[in-house]
């Protein structure tokens, strides 16, 4: 009996000691990110049969398990990716909106200032001060167009740098997950449950989810495979795939990701830009189109504005009686080949009022040319060049070969390329061509220039209306993304709270457990002491 009492006491002592250690481990990791609380799972030891029935033999520890919900963990991964994506996109949309609408940086004040200076000149067409004011206002407007385009271009470069950083972080995390896969599989194959390693792997996956959405497939041996939304494997067992950042072939100002590793045969496989990768990466990649669209629209406004002023200048004469020349240099459309095209294109402006704020792709199959407007997918086919489409004239430079493809960006560089063609205020053509040279007081042409403020110059809209439309478009996009970001953050907070309620360490609960297990330990120790006394008594009797 004493032997039985001793072994029972020892089993209780060992179980209580392990429970105290586990509780202490929980308390020590209360602030460890990704830590899941652990608990000792115990059961009654197999009873032995005696003449009086089955007699208990104490307790045995079955396992030390982590308290975690796989479902909540996966939901938290998803919510993390969604919140990160919308917050990242919102950051840039707000910056674009601020640039376009702020009094210090917006186009509106500079446009108003320029047309106001023309109004002042019309009152005193020969005034040197008024003429200089027009030149100053024109330069200010050019600077504003250039500055806005530079700001947007800078954002594109910044996105490229952030994508490089994110890709590097993902690659590091993926390598660590692959190593943990092997360590976890090894221990689980030995019948052990590596709780802390499982926590570390989940935390790494959470870190990846902050950068890009992932889905998991359990291999059944403790390993998990990690896949990107594109279907590319980021982690396959003990192997990880590297992500690399590439320039978009069809738009060098934008960036794409490519997957490269054993699963791709060592070749970098570009991930399609239409795939929402989620996380910071997805947010960065999605907002690239907003930046490109804004640059295209700003460029269209700059080109239409500059061309309209130039044409009106040509209808008048300057203060010396010379026919007016271009006040603005509006540049020309950009066209570049995709991949190995052998021919070349010459693209010029035909009607700047008909320009669309879109990129285009021209493909030649040997007999037919097809131009695709990328903003809406509208295709136009023809069998010869030159052709005029959406206000631009497209002609062949050197002959195109079958399979040649080109990207045409008629307005992308318009705001950045706008320049002042002259700075001599005497060259402003304020008078009409029909006025005498000696008629320095004629203001016919400068009044016509000032009236362009109310003319439909940009696809049926005035300069002011086109600018307001751009500001409204970006503002609406930022507002919608703000609502989405708020909702995603609220969902993440809710899921995190639910996850923590299951797996988080509660210090009050752990403190109560310490007392409970301490009492169990003391009671088991007392049982062992009594067993010793009983055994001594028996020895005394027998002696």
| Rounded Cα gap, residues 140 and 512, in angstroms | 72
Query: pLDDT tens-digit profile of 373-411?
Result: 999 999 999 999 999 999 999 999 999 999 999 999 999
Task: Please give the order of strands across the beta sheet that includes 251-260.
Answer: 242-248, 251-260, 269-270
* DSSP state letter for 17: H
Give the pLDDT score at 337. Answer: 93
Q: How does residue 2 score in pLDDT terms, banded at 50, 70 and 90?
A: very low
- pTM given for the model: 0.89
pLDDT band, very low/low/confident/very high, at 439 (cuts 50, 70, 90): low
Other CB atoms within 10 Å distance of the CB of residue 254: 18
What's the whole-number mean pLDDT along residues 98-118? 91
- Please give the average per-residue pLDDT across 497-514, as a whole number: 94
Average pLDDT, the chain: 93
- pLDDT tens digits, one per residue of 6-47: 889 899 999 999 999 999 999 999 999 999 999 999 998 888
pLDDT at residue 543 in the model: 65
Q: Cα separation of 235 and 223, whole Å?
A: 10
Quote the tokens at residue 340. Answer: 């190995």
Q: Would you state the pLDDT for residue 542?
A: 78
DSSP reduced 3-state for 357: coil
**Residue 539: HSE in the Cβ half-sphere, 13 Å Cα cutoff:** 8
Burial 482-513 (b: 16+ CB within 10 A, else e): bebbeebbeebeebbeebeeebebeeeebeeb
State mean pLDDT over 472-499.
96
- The pLDDT confidence band at residue 341, using thresholds 50, 70 and 90, is confident
- 542 prior amide bond cis, ω within 30: no
Calculated CA dihedral for residues 349, 354, 356, 361, nearest 10 degrees: -50
Closest by Cα among 502, 478, 481, 474 to 84: 481
Structural element, H or E, at residue 45? none
In this predicted structure, the answer to whether residue 504 has a pLDDT above a threshold of 90 is yes
Query: What is the rounded average pLDDT of the residues 256-265?
Result: 85
CB environment 77-104: b (16+ within 10 A), e (fewer): bbbbbbbbbbbbbbebbbbbbebbbeee
How confident is the model over 219-256, as pLDDT tens digits?
A: 999 999 999 999 999 999 999 999 999 999 889 999 99
* pLDDT at 1 (0 to 100): 47
Confidence of residue 178 (pLDDT cuts 50, 70, 90): very high
pLDDT average, residue stretch 253-277: 87
Measured CA to CA, the distance from residue 6 to residue 344 in angstroms comes to 94
pLDDT at residue 421, as a whole number: 97
247 HSE (CA, 13 A, CB side): 8
**Does residue 346 contact residue 339 with C-beta atoms inside 8 Å?**
no
């Amino acid at each position: 009996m004493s032997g039985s009492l001793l072994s029972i006491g020892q089993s209780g002592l060992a179980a209580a000691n392990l429970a105290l250690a586990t509780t202490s481990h929980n308390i020590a990791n209360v602030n460890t990110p990704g830590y899941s609380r652990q608990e000792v799972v115990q059961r009654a030891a197999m009873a032995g049969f005696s003449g009086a029935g089955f007699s208990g033999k104490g307790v045995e520890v079955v396992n030390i398990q982590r308290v975690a919900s796989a479902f909540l963990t996966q939901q938290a991964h998803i919510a993390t990716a969604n919140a990160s994506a919308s917050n990242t996109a919102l950051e840039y949309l707000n910056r674009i909106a601020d640039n376009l609408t702020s009094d210090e940086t917006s186009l509106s004040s500079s446009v108003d200032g320029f047309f106001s200076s023309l109004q002042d000149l019309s009152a005193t067409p020969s005034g040197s001060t008024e003429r200089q004011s027009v030149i100053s206002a024109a330069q200010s407007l050019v600077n504003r167009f250039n500055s806005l385009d530079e700001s947007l271009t800078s954002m594109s470069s910044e996105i490229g740098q952030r994508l490089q950083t994110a890709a590097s972080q993902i690659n590091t995390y993926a390598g660590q997950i692959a190593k943990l896969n092997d360590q976890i599989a090894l221990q689980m194959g030995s019948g052990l449950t590596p709780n802390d390693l499982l926590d570390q792997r989940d935390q790494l996956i959470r870190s990846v989810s902050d950068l890009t959405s992932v889905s998991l497939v359990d291999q059944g041996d403790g390993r998990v495979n990690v896949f990107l939304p594109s279907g590319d494997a980021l982690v396959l067992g003990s192997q990880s795939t590297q992500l690399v950042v590439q320039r978009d072939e069809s738009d060098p100002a934008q960036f794409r990701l490519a997957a490269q590793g054993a699963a791709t045969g060592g070749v970098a496989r570009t991930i399609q830009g239409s795939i929402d990768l989620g996380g910071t990466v997805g947010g960065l990649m999605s907002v690239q189109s907003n930046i490109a669209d804004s640059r295209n629209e700003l460029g269209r406004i700059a080109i239409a504005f500059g061309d309209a002023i130039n044409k009106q200048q040509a209808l008048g004469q300057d203060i010396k009686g010379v026919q007016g020349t271009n006040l603005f240099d509006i540049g020309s459309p950009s066209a570049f080949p995709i991949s190995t095209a052998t021919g070349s294109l010459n693209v010029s402006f035909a009607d700047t009022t008909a320009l669309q704020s879109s990129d285009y792709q021209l493909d030649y199959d040997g007999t037919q040319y097809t131009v695709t407007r990328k903003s809406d997918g509208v295709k136009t086919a023809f069998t010869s060049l030159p052709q005029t489409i959406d206000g631009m004239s497209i002609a062949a430079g050197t002959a195109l070969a079958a399979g040649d493809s080109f990207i045409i960006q008629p307005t992308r560089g318009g705001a950045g390329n706008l320049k002042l063609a002259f700075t001599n205020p005497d060259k402003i053509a304020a008078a009409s061509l029909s006025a005498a040279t000696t008629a320095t007081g004629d203001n016919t042409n400068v009044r016509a220039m000032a009236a362009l403020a109310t003319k439909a110059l940009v696809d049926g809209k005035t300069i002011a209306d086109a600018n307001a439309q751009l500001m409204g478009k970006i503002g609406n996009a930022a507002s919608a993304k703000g609502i989405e970001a708020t909702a995603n953050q609220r969902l993440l907070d809710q899921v995190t709270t639910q996850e923590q309620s299951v797996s988080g360490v509660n210090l009050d609960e752990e403190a109560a457990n310490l007392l409970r297990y301490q009492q169990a330990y003391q009671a088991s120790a007392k049982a062992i002491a009594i067993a010793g006394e009983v055994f001594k008594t028996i020895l005394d009797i027998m002696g």
